[in-house]
Amino acid sequence: MQEYLIRDINLAPGGRLKIDWVRVHMPVLNVIREEFERTRPFAGVRVAMSIHLEAKTAYLAEVLKAGGAEVAISGSNPLSTQDDVAAALAAEGIHVYAWHGATGEEYVEHLVKVLEIRPHVVIDDGGDLVHLLHTRCRELAGEVVGGCEETTTGVFRLKAMEQEGRLLFPMIAVNDARCKFLFDNRYGTGESVWAGIMRTTNLLVAGKTVVVVGYGWCGKGVAMRAAGLGAKVVVCEVDPVRALEAYMDGYLVMKSEQAAEVGDIFITVTGCRDVLRSRHFRRMKDGVILANAGHFDVEINKPELAGIAVSRRLVRQNIEEFTLPDGRRIYLLGEGRLVNLAAGDGHPAEIMDMSFALQALSARYIWENGNCLKPGVHLVPPELDRRVAEIKLSSLGVEIDQLTPDQKAYLQSWQAG
């Protein structure tokens, strides 16, 4: 098997420094690494991974390798791959197939190379590996015991496959664990989206009107941090309960076409397509900034934006200017790909510590139990969720109370009083 397909192996020392930096800030994953080194749960196991290939992910790959796995990895988005990190992993003997800025075809070729390892366990982010294993690369699915999915959009795709009776093996919805979505989607996306936008634009947020489209777990984080930065926040939703939640959280709620007229910065984070399209672009003020934080680059309709523009040019790294016939300019960040990874380093290490601890424990769980689980989407076992929270609290030096036996009995009883 070809060992790696990367931009430049000489970049490895810089990538190693990045991985070492995040490792220090990932105490939960460090505990799991030590456990894996002792028990070698993945001895002889081949793991295929496709996740945004930056330092935290790289450390997850190393933890699985420390547990005995043979690991092959690619990115899950052409713009989120960091070439120095990919090189550092390749230098450690991990099969890496990814480079920053891969074309659509190269991106798929990299996924296929990863699958050529003939995986026992799949770790996916957005569902592209699993999709290939059910279509073009079906013959490589024979030994798959199961896998884990990282994000909301991937879980949606898996559930659609399950409903059609198409899913060939069990997949754990890591995204749906409490230690994932409550922290990664909310605090992780909330912080890293703004880190990406501020670093890319070098512009002020305070006083601006920020429109957040989608008030799910990610949208709540993005809106909360926008308010903290001093922005006026508008939320657009299609779910009446979530719209009401946004309203009572203190935000203005309105239809997206109305919001298009007042916003200065727009952030889509829905997992849906065409959330902002020409009918919105036509109403926007001069100089607005558009960014997407949802998994795929379909939330802002780029062909429609290009279609109504008379010219377009790159005005700064990761900022493309589209000029409309009347001279108004619209700025699109990171090609409409998820801005925190395409134009930033992704979530803080302390957050991914929890998500990737869940990934590592879920990968072990699926390897040890996958043969007993039905093909379909499964929840992370609650004891794993709880264990991640316990190790995290302990790493933070935080102690909490325990239920007394009487309290436990009371909570389990149906008798009053």
Ligand X SMILES: NC(=O)c1ccc[n+]([C@@H]2O[C@H](COP(=O)([O-])OP(=O)(O)OC[C@H]3O[C@@H](n4cnc5c(N)ncnc54)[C@H](O)[C@@H]3O)[C@@H](O)[C@H]2O)c1
Our CB check for ligand X shows the closer of 66 and 122 to be: 122
Q: Is 338 in the site for ligand X (CB under 6 A)?
A: yes
| Interatomic CA distance for residues 328 and 313, integer angstroms | 14
Give the 3-state secondary structure of residue 275: coil
- Between the CA of residue 351 and those of 25, 35, 80, 184, 215, what are the distances in Å? 9, 21, 17, 6, 20
What would the x/- binding string for ligand X be over residues 138 to 167, using CB under 6 A?
-------------xxx--------------
For residue 9, which phi and psi values (nearest 5 degrees)? -65, -20
In whole angstroms, what is the distance from residue 365 CA to residue 343 CA? Answer: 34
Widest pairwise Cα distance in the chain: 73
Q: Closest distance between ligand X and the C-beta of residue 72, in Å?
A: 23
CB of 359 to ligand X, least distance (A): 13
Which residue type occupies 241?
V
Which range of residues in 271-279, 308-316, 368-376, 397-405 is near ligand X by CB under 6 A?
A: 271-279
- Of 187 and 367, nearer to ligand X (C-beta) is 187
Write down the least CB distance from residue 43 to ligand X, Å: 32
Rounded-to-integer distance, Cα 294 and Cα 50, Å = 17
CB nearer ligand X, residue 67 or residue 219: 219
Give the span between the Cα atoms of 413 and 417, in whole angstroms.
10
Is 12 or 267 the residue whose CB approaches ligand X more closely? 267
Q: How far is CA 217 from CA 20, 94, 180, 256, in A?
A: 30, 33, 10, 19
| Residue 336 CB partners (closer than 8 Å, separation 6+) | 290, 291, 292, 297, 299, 300, 302
Q: Which is nearer to ligand X, 137 or 298 (CB)?
A: 298
275 binds ligand X (CB under 6 A): yes
Whether the CB-CB separation of 229 and 207 falls below 8 Å is answered with: no
Closest to ligand X by CB, 32 or 51 = 51
Q: Residues 67, 127, 294, 370: which binds ligand X (CB under 6 A)?
A: 294
CB of 80 to ligand X, least distance (A): 9
43: tokens are: 């001895």
Q: Determine which residue in the list 213, 223, 259, 342 makes contact with ligand X, applying CB under 6 A.
A: 213
Q: Tell me how far apart the alpha carbons of residues 298 and 124 are, in angstroms, rounded to a whole number.
A: 19
Contact 96, 89 (CB under 8 A): yes
Which lies closer to ligand X via its Cβ, residue 107 or residue 367? 107
Distances (CA, A) of 23 to 42, 259, 269, 375: 21, 41, 29, 34
For the beta carbon of residue 140, count every other beta carbon within 10 angstroms. Answer: 18
**Min dist. Cβ of residue 191 to ligand X (A):** 10
Q: Which of residues 16-75 bind ligand X (CB under 6 A)?
A: none
Asked whether position 217 contacts ligand X by CB under 6 A, the answer is: yes
318 binds ligand X (CB under 6 A): no
Q: Nearer to ligand X by C-beta: 167 or 267? A: 267
Residue with smallest beta-carbon separation from ligand X:
216
Task: Using CB under 6 A, pick the residue from 15, 41, 147, 219 that binds ligand X.
Answer: 219
Minimum separation from the CB atom of position 234 to ligand X (A): 12
Binding site for ligand X (CB under 6 A): 151-153, 181, 185, 189, 213-219, 236-239, 242, 269-272, 275, 293-295, 338, 340
